Amino acid sequence: MATKRVTPAASLLLLVTLGACATSGLEPFVLDGDELHVSLGPKPLEGANHGVPPGVRDNPHFTTDAEVVASIARNASQGQLGGDGIRAALYALYDGESELGFYGLEVAPSGDADQLEGTLRGIWAGVVGLDLVRVHRGGRVFIVVWNDGVSPACWQAVNDVLVERLAAR
C-alpha cells in the first residue's frame, strides 16, 4: 500500500478549511421566537420598525462575512463600531406584543473583548436604565437585546434564556 505525502500547502489548506468550519459562540443564539418566549415569532424583515442592517437576508441571520459583520456591529453600536476585531455576528428580530430583537457579536481571538464590552455598555447606558435594552457577555460573545415594549414576563424570559445559553457555552 502506497503512502501519500502531505505537502505543507495541503496541510495549510486543511487547517484553513477546518478553521472555516469551526463553530461560533453565537450558534446557540440562532433561535426561533418560541425558544425565547411562547409569544414571540419571527418578524418579516421587510416589515421591521427599525432599520435592518445591510446584508442581512434571513431572520435570524448569522454571518462571518466581513461586510455583514461590520454592518451588524454598526447597528449594535448605533454607528460607533465597525467590524474590526469581530469575527462573527448575528441579527435576530421577533414579533409578539411588539418587536424584540438582538445583535450578537463574537470577538476575534485577536480582538479586545473588554474594550468592546465597555463600548457597548457605554453606548446603551441611557436606554438600559429604561429597561428597553440589556447587554450580556459570555467570554468573547456579546448579546445586545432590545424591545419596543413587550410584557415584563416576556422580557425577563428572553433575558433568562440568553443568560443561560451564554453560561452554558
Confidence (pTM) = 0.84
115 in a structural domain: yes
**53-104 tens-digit pLDDT:** 999 999 999 999 999 999 999 999 999 999 999 999 999 999 998 999 999 9
14 in a structural domain: no
135 in a structural domain: yes
Q: Which residues span the domain enclosing 108?
A: 23-168
How much of the chain is helix, strand and coil, in % rounded to 5?
40, 20, 40
**102-154 tens-digit pLDDT:** 999 999 999 999 999 999 999 999 887 789 999 999 999 999 999 999 999 99
pLDDT-derived band at 22 (thresholds 50, 70, 90) equals: low
- Provide the number of structural domains found in the chain: 1
75 in a structural domain: yes
